[in-house]
Amino acid sequence: MAKTVLVSGGAGYIGSHVTVELIGKGYEVVVADNMSNCDLTCFEGVKKITGRDDIPFHQIDCCDSEAVNRLFDEYKIDAVIHFAAFKAVGESVAEPLMYYRNNLVSFINILEAAKNKGGCNVLFSSSATVYGEAEVLPVTENTPRLPSTSPYGNTKQMCEDILRDVVFATAGNDGADGQGVVKGIALRYFNPIGAHPSALIGELPRGVPNNLVPFITQTAIGKRECLSIFGNDYPTEDGTCLRDYIDVVDLAKAHVAAVSRMVEGRMKEGYEIFNVGTGRPVSVYELVTAFENVNGLKLNYKFVDRRPGDVMAIWADTTLANEELGWKAERTVEETLASAWAWEKHLAEQK
Ligand code: UDP
């Protein structure tokens, strides 16, 4: 029988791509989203891509424990992928309580239900932000985490630790009173970019984008006047920061590989961590140039001061994910940037 995966935050950017890939591999998906940071555009896109009009969708807030418990009562959930969280670094500095309440309470509710409803596999969407300004690059999963510079980053570290502790504490549960075993995987994403090749789903930033690629595509389409490149005086080859840009469809496939590992009982430990990146550093300037070249256009950009809080360079050692998940990033950065542009144009045509 098909396994069922609950995707919290499933109407968002990464969640919608993951839903598509899960369905493509024969999973049943239940989407839960409070729609606080998205509209139905991507969920409608998911239905079109998959040809499935019957994907269960629940508009709930995972901070509502009763609503979460009801989902676990209604469906036999084999795994949860938890995306539902706030994700803007700057906003988290201004509104720490909002971030701690939302990101921690929602995850605690998911874990409580997972434990109390007979046990479950839980995949947490973590981030390379947990590494901070690492001394040795590329980073492996054993690279020490550094104290976070934002409440957002703190919530990622805290949720990783909460998952690890729950896995440890539930390992001996025997199902009495419904108390089951929780197993967990944290995927540490590097910089997710791009869109589905159909251009039916992609990133939908609200207001002025904080992230580089949405800012690039919005500048190219004329929504923004000029891209500011934050800093060209870093000690890198061209003076701009280095990141590991991971295609969102490749990233989604890593989730399917991790869920399969969990539900098929192939985990080597109750709690595992994997870096999800390409393993290749790309500078901001290189990315801008690649975007121009692959899409045959010129972008209006200027160099400005460094952005406070940015690390100079981070990229992944992906050996563990490659070997253990049997997964590796496949799309080239050019393909990804072409997909990001196709998505921006698709959005413009909807207007
Ligand atoms: N960046 C930039 N201009 C922008 C947005 C981002 O130059 O408008 C740079 C930023 O300084 C960093 C890289 O692009 O070096 C990636 O930033 P993003 O916010 O996308 O992700 P982060 O790595 O900060 O999570």
Taking only the tens place, the pLDDT of each residue in 85-132 is: 999 999 999 999 999 999 999 999 999 999 999 999 999 999 999 999
Query: Of residues 152, 189, 234, 271, which has the active-site annotation?
Result: 152
Ligand 1, atom nearest to 284 Cα: 14
Strand partners, 229: 303
Ligand 1 pocket mutation pick from 188, 189, 228, 230 by most atoms within 8 angstroms of CB? 230
Enumerate the domain spans of the chain: 4-193+245-276, 212-244+279-349
Range 325-349 average pLDDT: 97
pLDDT attached to residue 31: 98
Ligand 1, atom nearest to 314 Cα: 23
Query: Residues near ligand 1 with C-beta < 6 Å?
Result: 191, 210-212, 215, 227-230, 241, 243, 284, 307, 310
3-state secondary structure 290-337: HHHHHHCCCCCEEEECCCCCCCCECCECCHHHHHHHCCCCCCCHHHHH
Alpha-carbon dihedral of residues 340, 224, 221, 288, nearest 10 degrees? -50
Q: Please state the CATH superfamily assignment of the domain spanning residues 212-244+279-349 in this structure.
A: UDP-galactose 4-epimerase, domain 1 (3.90.25.10)
The Cβ-side half-sphere exposure at 215, using a 13 Å CA radius, reads 17
Both tokens of residue 53?
A: 């009009």
Position 351 confidence tier, pLDDT thresholds 50, 70, 90? confident
Q: Is 234 a catalytic residue?
A: no
pLDDT attached to residue 37: 87
Q: Please state the CATH superfamily assignment of the domain spanning residues 4-193+245-276 in this structure.
A: NAD(P)-binding Rossmann-like Domain (3.40.50.720)
Ligand 1 pocket mutation pick from 310, 311, 314, 333 by most atoms within 8 angstroms of CB? 310
| pTM attached to this predicted model | 0.98
Quickly tell me which residue has 């839980």 as its tokens: 122
pLDDT score of 260 more than 80: yes
pLDDT tens for residues 189-248?
999 999 999 999 999 998 999 999 999 999 999 999 999 999 999 999 999 999 999 999
CA of 231 to the centre of ligand 1 (A): 10
Query: Mean pLDDT, the chain, as a whole number?
Result: 97
Ligand 1 pocket mutation pick from 91, 302, 307 by most atoms within 8 angstroms of CB? 307
Range 141-158 average pLDDT: 96
pLDDT tens for residues 63-94?
999 999 999 999 999 999 999 999 999 999 99
CA of 310 to the centre of ligand 1 (A): 8
